[in-house]
Structure 1
Amino acid sequence: MHLGLSRCALLVGERASFNGASALFSYCNRTSTNTFSTCNAFSNRKKSPYSSVDSERYSKLVKSVMTHRVSAQTPESLEEQDTHIYGPVIKSSTPNQPLPKVPKTRHPLLNHEKAFAISETEHGAAPARIILQRGQDRGSVPSVTRILQQTLSPEQQFFLERWRKRMIAQLGEEGFKEYSQNLFRQGKLFHIAVENVLPLKTEEKAPEVPAEVEGYMESIRHVMDDIRGVRAIESRVLHNKLGYLGIVDCVALYRGVLCVIDWKTSERSKPFLDNTYDNPLQVAAYVGALNNDVNYNYQVENGLIVVAYKDGSPAHPHLLSSDQVLQYWERWLVRLEEYSEKS
């Protein structure tokens, strides 16, 4: 009985010993494998460039920077410090902008001997049309166009000459000459077409428009809808006191305001009044001449510049208020004096 028990215990002990040895072998095998892999990984890793950094010294440097207190500075204190170190700042004076020229002698734009037109009728009397006498008028009295051309600023002359040279380079001398003639011809045909349309009554049939200016007429269609009470068409105006003349394209009501209207054609868009260069001076000169011309029993304070486009895109109407006309009148008087000094 005791012998059987001892044998059983021996068998159990041997089995346990065998299982323990197996487990130990498995653990050792895994450990050796992991140790080998880890060693291989460390052997393949490149040496870090930061391994040679003095970490203690670096830590002290960071600590000193982070704990350093900087005093608050203001623009005034910085300026005072710079003045103490480098001396006082000498600020250069801003170059003076040239003051706008003013006329030596001011002439009134309005004629107080004339009354303002209080009311206008759409179907009133026939528009005035005073023909310019080529020989008699132009021989002694300069035109507004001539005065403006003769008194261009150096900057205006530069850009005008540059444009002319660029066009000649593209078209040649003969091509540029033909181009200029075509522009003049189209402008004349456009003005004639506008003249034929303006005095029409609703029952009249509109005349045929030349194909060359169909685009221009389409361009101003929306402007024409706002024009009523035409008083003058292509009519000469003369300022006897100042000695100049011109031809107004039209005098009519635009949206209820009596204006001197100037029709312009352009190949480029001119959505702003500044794009029209000397055209406002021209309109102001016409306003002043009309107000002082005995052939007209009324006077005008406003102006309108209509820029039409050949491709038919909507024209740009630039309405000049009475204050604007007065400002351009002052500039016109300066140009008129410059012309008189050159003559």
Structure 2
Amino acid sequence: MLIISRVVSLGGIVAPRCTSLCVSHFSACHCLTSPKRRSPYSSVDSERYSSLLKSVMSARVSSQTPESLQAEDEHIYGPVVKAQAPSSAPRRREPRTLHPFLRSEETEETEESGPPVRISLNRGQGRSLVPSVTRILQQTLSPEQIFYLERWKRRMVAELGEEGFKEYSQNLFRQGKLFHSALEEILTAGDTKRNKSASETPEHPPEVRGYMESVSHVLEDISAVRAIESTVQHDTLNYLGIADCVARYRGVLCVIDWKTSEKPKPFLGNTYDNPIQVAAYAGALNNDDNYKYQVENGLIVVAYKDGSPAHAHQLNSELMLEYWNTWLIRLEEFTDPR
């Protein structure tokens, strides 16, 4: 039984009126119900899924260990060949003959008066067959050094072309010569001009003013210049070279080598074979009768064209002896029959 209430107006008075209706099968009314959605899992075979799950959960876990796996691999593929671990550090190579770095154990510390010595290279006086330090180092480069050098050259040729790379190399050589000439002028002028700021020397060519500004702080620590652009020769080992400078750096007598670079070289390892070159010059000077003193230390100064402060790498006596032995090995490689 369904009772429906209606509102009826009677002369301004509102009164409710009830009407009773008989309704059968109310729950079957289509407009009040929605169709049942079908579950996506209704088509799954639940019994089969349950059986599969039980079989997986009840499976035995493998009891194999790394040792048993290795034994199985050896049975199938054969025994494993293991590399033998090195028993000690790699043996350091030594020269066959240890030529002395110093002419004597005692070194002269007396200061020489007068201008710096400069012994020019004269190939006409029996020196035509004596190889230079630069030539020996170039012809005994390691395969790795040759690889990187050739790669750098190929990259530069690709960027500049053959003629452009040739002009670039000539400009570098010219700048190096101008830089060394400017240094020679300052070092031979005495301490007064040496302590003067490089920016106050407009007589230097524009190409080297940045380099001179770069080394200005190093020049302040240099004194007692003994040799500039001077030839040194080792008669026993039969080689020669031209030392850039021999002077005191912060009170220590050194063979000084001036270098220019387009890239920063803040560490000694960045200078490649330059320490070997300095040790070779010092060893030749110590065994050259033209020089009455001995030098145990070295200095490599790397100057930059943009004027940024140069890096000064000092080589003490212990390092110089290490690089001297390396030089003797390179010298043996050069002299051995090929």
Asked whether the two chains share a fold, i.e. TM above 0.5, the reply is: yes
The reply on whether 1:107 has 2:99 as its aligned counterpart is yes
Q: Aligned equivalents of 1:236 and 1:204: distance in 2?
A: 25
Once the two structures are superposed, the pairs formed by residues 175-190 of structure 1 within 5 Å of their partners are 175-190=164-179
Match of 1:58 in 2: 49
Match of 1:222 in 2: 217
Q: Aligned equivalents of 2:247 and 2:66: distance in 1?
A: 61
2:273 to 272, 278, 290: 278
Match of 2:184 in 1: 195
Distance 1:288 1:33, change over 3 A: farther
- Of 103-112 and 60-69, more deviation after overlay is shown by 60-69
Q: Once the two structures are aligned, what percentage of the paired residues are identical? A: 64
Distance 1:83 1:113, change over 3 A: closer
Counting helix residues as a fraction of each chain, which structure ranks higher? Answer: 1
Distance 1:218 1:329, change over 3 A: same
Match of 1:90 in 2: 81
Q: Aligned equivalents of 1:267 and 1:252: distance in 2?
A: 26
Match of 2:33 in 1: 35
Letter in 1 for 2:268: L
Q: Aligned equivalents of 1:66 and 1:228: distance in 2?
A: 87
How far is the alpha carbon of 1:190 from its aligned partner?
A: 0.4
The reply on whether 1:322 has 2:313 as its aligned counterpart is no
Q: Which runs of 5+ in 1 are unaligned?
A: 1-17
Counting strand residues as a fraction of each chain, which structure ranks higher? Answer: 2
State the Cα deviation string for residues 84-125 of structure 1 (Å, max 9, x = none).
554421235689x997653222211122254253x87xx975
Kept after mapping to 2: 8 A contact 1:115/1:297: no
Distance 1:133 1:85, change over 3 A: closer
Kept after mapping to 2: 8 A contact 1:114/1:298: no
Q: Which runs of 5+ in 2 are unaligned?
A: 1-17
Q: Aligned equivalents of 1:72 and 1:194: distance in 2?
A: 79
Match of 1:10 in 2: none
Match of 1:310 in 2: 305
Match of 1:127, SS state, is: coil
Distance 1:231 1:77, change over 3 A: farther
Once the two structures are superposed, the pairs formed by residues 151-166 of structure 1 within 5 Å of their partners are 151-166=140-155
Match of 2:264, SS state, is: coil
Letter in 2 for 1:318: H
Q: Aligned equivalents of 1:166 and 1:75: distance in 2?
A: 51
Kept after mapping to 2: 8 A contact 1:287/1:301: yes
Match of 1:297 in 2: 292
Kept after mapping to 1: 8 A contact 2:299/2:315: yes
TM-score (norm 1): 0.74
Q: How many residues are paired up?
A: 314
How far is the alpha carbon of 1:61 from its aligned partner?
A: 4.4
Q: Aligned equivalents of 1:254 and 1:64: distance in 2?
A: 85
Match of 1:7 in 2: none
Question: Pairwise CA RMSD of aligned residues?
Answer: 3.9
How far is the alpha carbon of 1:307 from its aligned partner?
A: 1.7
How far is the alpha carbon of 1:166 from its aligned partner?
A: 4.3
